[in-house]
């Protein structure tokens, strides 16, 4: 390789040395409680498949039916010739599920932030953003060229101080609904109140709240009963909903505007029908019954209590996201590797996804786990934790 690319070797070597190099494992089976990886059957403790919908027979069937009717490719961006009637059906279903006036589905949650934030604020405006907001919010905010002011994590006094200004132009306050690395819940009720007091726009990215919080998993807006008061709600289908895609929900006016303005909507092709069909089925299933949501919470409470009883630090989590706090990234990687040999697939997460010195194993509980699965996991965590002297 030529001289000019040597920086890549150096960067990779430095990641290896500091234990931050991420080995990506390929999964040889469908998503579920158990996976096959490197020919080995392992218990899945790190996917976002909260409700076990990623391989649910009803969703699989709906995807096949959608392919039979609409084919496999959208063949265009939604704003030109890529909107099939099934896309509009999904827009309406999302709005109904969220109790919002309208919704617009996009190709992903990451993209939804790129679509929405630069449509709402520009270089003469201001964004107030929680310091632990997801990378897609950070990138969407940067893309907008607005002035970005970061408030300390869930520090409402700090947010209010920033809202008092002076601030340039329009002000948009953005928070995660559930913070993905710690599992704590954003104070959206208080944030919306502050936004109303100071005339700022409020926006939440509820990627980890959908299918988890609120009645039937309607998310954080439903959890705090803020329907019609939170200006912009971003979401994803890639977590609890079990498929792929993103959306924005809000007022009819907002959605009409985004269809004219949002660049990923205007310049990147629509979701394929199979995915749209499966997603529609997921929303129908959730509205019929909240059994899976209840099971998810029951599992989360059982596992978290078990880990705490063993002496593990599960951080600040208020949701099924269960961080097992380790500290140093290389220790977390070794722990993850040891767990894998014992049949547990639980990935270590280090910088830059979490701050340096705050590496962890992030355990993701799912409704697809049986009580026996969780007992197996606790037994293996106990054994590995003792072997590495993380617990006594």
Ligand X SMILES: *Cc1c(COP(=O)(O)O)cnc(C)c1O
Nearer Cβ to ligand X, position 78 or 208?
208
> Is 208 in the active site?
yes
Nearer Cβ to ligand X, position 249 or 384?
249
* Reduced DSSP (H G I as helix, E B as strand, rest coil) percent helix, strand, coil of the chain, to 5: 45, 15, 35
Binding mask 128-157 for ligand X (x = CB under 6 A): ------x-x---------------------
> Is 134 in the active site?
no
Q: How many CB atoms lie within 10 A of CB 178?
A: 27
52, 74, 82, 108: which one binds ligand X (CB under 6 A): 108
**Could you say whether residue 238 binds ligand X (CB under 6 A)?**
yes
**Could you say whether residue 180 binds ligand X (CB under 6 A)?**
yes
The nearest distance, CB 191 to ligand X, in angstroms, is 15
Nearer Cβ to ligand X, position 125 or 210?
210
The nearest distance, CB 17 to ligand X, in angstroms, is 29
Exposed, middle or buried by CB within 10 Å (0-12, 13-18, 19+), for 167?
Answer: middle
How far is Cα 22 from Cα 329, in angstroms, rounded to an integer?
11
133's tokens: 């907001």
For residue 352, say if its preceding peptide bond is cis, omega within 30 degrees of 0: yes
SS3 call for 80? helix
The footprint of ligand X on this chain (CB under 6 A) covers a number of residues equal to 13
Binding mask 194-223 for ligand X (x = CB under 6 A): -----------x-xx---------------
Nearer Cβ to ligand X, position 194 or 240?
240
- Distances in whole angstroms, Cα of residue 212 to Cα of each of 217, 239, 291, 385: 5, 10, 12, 29
How far is Cα 377 from Cα 304, in angstroms, rounded to an integer?
11
50, 97, 110, 312: which one binds ligand X (CB under 6 A): 110
Nearer Cβ to ligand X, position 84 or 238?
238
Binding mask 291-330 for ligand X (x = CB under 6 A): ----------------------------------------
- Distances in whole angstroms, Cα of residue 132 to Cα of each of 128, 150, 151, 176: 12, 9, 9, 8
**Could you say whether residue 381 binds ligand X (CB under 6 A)?**
no
Catalytic position from the list 129, 136, 180, 366: 180
Exposed, middle or buried by CB within 10 Å (0-12, 13-18, 19+), for 353?
Answer: middle
**Could you say whether residue 354 binds ligand X (CB under 6 A)?**
no
List the strands of the sheet with 40-44, edge to edge.
34-37, 40-44, 344-345
**Could you say whether residue 183 binds ligand X (CB under 6 A)?**
no
Among the residue ranges 21-29, 105-113, 221-229, 306-314, the one whose residues contact ligand X (CB under 6 A): 105-113
**Could you say whether residue 362 binds ligand X (CB under 6 A)?**
no
How far is Cα 186 from Cα 89, in angstroms, rounded to an integer?
30
The string over 321-335, giving b where at least 16 C-beta atoms fall within 10 Å of a residue's C-beta and e elsewhere, is bbbbbbeebbbbbbb
Nearer Cβ to ligand X, position 56 or 208?
208
140, 246, 264, 350: which one binds ligand X (CB under 6 A): 246
Binding mask 12-51 for ligand X (x = CB under 6 A): ----------------------------------------
The nearest distance, CB 48 to ligand X, in angstroms, is 7
Among the residue ranges 82-90, 104-112, 182-190, 250-258, the one whose residues contact ligand X (CB under 6 A): 104-112
Going by the DSSP 8-state scheme, the letter that residue 339 receives in this structure is H
β-pairing, 344-345 with 232-236? unpaired
How far is Cα 297 from Cα 184, in angstroms, rounded to an integer?
14
Nearer Cβ to ligand X, position 140 or 385?
140
- Distances in whole angstroms, Cα of residue 163 to Cα of each of 149, 179, 230: 10, 22, 16
Reported in sequence order, the residue ranges of the chain that DSSP labels E, i.e. its strands, are: 34-37, 40-44, 102-106, 126-130, 147-151, 171-176, 201-205, 232-236, 246-250, 321-327, 344-345, 348-349, 359-364
Give the residue numbers annotated as catalytic, written as ranges.
Answer: 180, 208, 239
Name the site residues for ligand X (rule: CB under 6 A).
108-110, 134, 136, 176, 180, 205, 207-208, 236, 238, 246
């Amino acid at each position: 390789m030529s001289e000019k690319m040597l920086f890549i070797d150096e960067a990779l070597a430095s990641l290896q040395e500091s234990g931050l190099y991420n080995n990506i494992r390929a999964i040889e089976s469908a998503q579920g409680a158990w996976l096959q990886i490197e020919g080995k059957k392992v218990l899945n403790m790190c996917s976002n498949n909260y409700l076990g919908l990623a391989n649910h027979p009803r969703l699989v069937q709906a995807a096949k039916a959608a392919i039979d009717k609409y084919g496999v490719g959208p063949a265009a961006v939604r704003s030109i010739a890529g909107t099939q009637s099934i896309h509009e059906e999904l827009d309406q279903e999302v709005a109904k599920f969220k109790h919002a006036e309208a919704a617009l589905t996009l190709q992903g949650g990451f993209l939804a932030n790129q679509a929405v934030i630069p449509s709402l604020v520009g270089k003469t405006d201001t964004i107030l953003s929680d310091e632990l907001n997801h990378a897609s919010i950070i990138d969407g905010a940067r893309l907008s060229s607005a002035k970005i002011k970061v408030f300390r994590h869930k520090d409402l006094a700090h947010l209010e101080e920033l809202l008092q200004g002076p601030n340039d132009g329009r002000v948009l306050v953005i928070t995660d609904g559930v913070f993905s690395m710690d599992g704590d819940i954003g104070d959206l009720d208080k944030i919306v109140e502050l936004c109303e007091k100071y005339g700022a726009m409020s926006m939440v990215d509820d990627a980890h709240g959908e299918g988890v919080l609120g009645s039937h998993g309607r998310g954080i807006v439903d959890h705090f009963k803020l329907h019609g008061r939170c200006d912009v709600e971003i979401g994803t289908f890639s977590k609890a909903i079990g498929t792929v895609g993103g959306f924005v929900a809000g007022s009819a006016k907002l959605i009409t505007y985004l269809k004219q303005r949002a660049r990923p909507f205007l310049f990147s092709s629509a979701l394929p029908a199979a995915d749209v069909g499966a997603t529609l089925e997921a929303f129908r299933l959730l509205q019929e019954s909240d059994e899976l949501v209840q099971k998810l919470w029951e599992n989360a409470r059982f596992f978290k209590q078990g880990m705490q009883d063993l002496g593990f630090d599960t951080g600040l989590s208020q949701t099924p996201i269960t961080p097992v706090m380790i500290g140093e990234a290389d220790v977390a990687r070794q722990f993850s590797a040891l767990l894998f040999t014992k049949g547990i697939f639980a990935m270590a997460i280090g910088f830059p996804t979490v701050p340096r010195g705050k590496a962890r194993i992030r355990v993701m509980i799912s409704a697809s786990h049986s009580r026996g699965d969780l007992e197996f996991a606790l037994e293996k965590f106990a054994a590995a934790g003792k072997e590495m002297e993380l617990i006594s």
